[in-house]
Amino acid sequence: ARSWSIPSEDPYEEAAQQLLEQAPRSPEYVPDLIELEDHVPLHIPKHLEDLVPTEDEAPTEAYIPEVASAPTPLLPPSFLSPHI
C-alpha cells in the first residue's frame, strides 16, 4: 500500500506568496531612507557652468513654432449646427 503525504501548506497560497515576493515595485513605492543615503547620483557635474545655460544658447521662445501663437480659425457652419 502506498502512503500519500498531504502537504501542510496550500500550494496556491505558496505560489501566491512567491509571486508577491517577485512582484515589481509599485510606482507609489517609497524607498527606505537608508537606501536613499546610499544612493550616489550617476552624473555629478565637475564645473558649475555645466548647469548654467550659455549666453549663445537660443531662448526657449525660439523653439516654439509660430503656429502656437496663431489665432484659431473659425469653424465652418456645419460644426456649429445645433443638430447632432
Which three-class secondary structure string do you get for the chain?
CCCCCCCCCCHHHHHHHHHHHHCCCCCCCCCCHHHHHHCCCCCCCCCHHHCCCCCCCCCHHHHCCHHHHCCCCCCCHHHHCCCC
pTM above 0.75? no
Residue ranges of the domains in the chain? 12-79
- What pLDDT score was predicted for residue 54? 63
Q: Do 45 and 51 contact (CB within 8 A), yes or no? A: yes
- What pLDDT score was predicted for residue 26? 72
- The residue ranges of the chain whose pLDDT is under 70 are 1-8, 23-24, 30-43, 48-57, 60-70, 75-84
pLDDT 10s digits, 69-83: 667 777 666 666 666
